[in-house]
């Protein structure tokens, strides 16, 4: 089955997401190094894993509380059985709410990731 939806959890509690969610496993970002008309090699920079999503705002969504969460385990669970964990996670930037009924898109950046 092709992935069509995902459930996002923070420390085991399902987040009330809206729209699309994205899982990025992180890894290495490489930059080509060139000098003297030759490719000299590559430099690498580590890129952190993350899960990105937007939350629906109802009476029990507290963005102050959500923004304060640190060292969380974020679970990305696809409707096709794929499941990934991002550990040591916190929001990269604080999120707010709008009168359209959603939060800003939150990017949960972690220290490690693995397939569950």
pLDDT digits (tens, 9 = 90+) for 14-68: 999 999 999 999 999 999 999 999 999 999 999 999 999 999 998 988 999 999 9
Q: Which residues contact 116 (CB under 8 A, 6 or more apart)?
A: 75, 83, 84, 85
**CA 8 to chain centroid:** 9
For residue 1, being part of any structural domain is answered with: no
- The CATH number of whichever domain residue 79 belongs to comes to 2.40.30
What total of structural domains would you count in the chain?
1
Q: What is the pLDDT of residue 102?
A: 84
Task: Name the residue range of residue 81's domain.
Answer: 6-115
pLDDT digits (tens, 9 = 90+) for 56-105: 998 988 999 999 999 999 999 999 999 999 999 999 999 999 888 889 99
Looking at the domain assignment, is residue 92 inside a domain?
yes
Determine contact, residues 22/53, Cβ cutoff 8 Å.
Answer: yes
């Amino acid at each position: 089955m092709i992935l069509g939806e995902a459930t996002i959890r923070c420390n085991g509690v399902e987040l009330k997401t809206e729209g699309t969610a994205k899982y990025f496993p992180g890894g290495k970002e490489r930059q080509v190094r060139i000098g003297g008309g030759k490719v000299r090699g590559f430099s690498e920079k580590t890129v952190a894993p993350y899960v990105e999503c937007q939350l629906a705002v109802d009476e029990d969504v507290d963005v102050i509380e959500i923004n304060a969460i640190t060292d969380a385990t974020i679970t990305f669970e696809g409707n096709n059985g794929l499941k990934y964990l991002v550990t040591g996670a916190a929001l990269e930037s604080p999120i707010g709410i709008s009168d359209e009924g959603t939060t800003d898109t939150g990017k949960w950046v972690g220290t490690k990731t693995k397939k569950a």
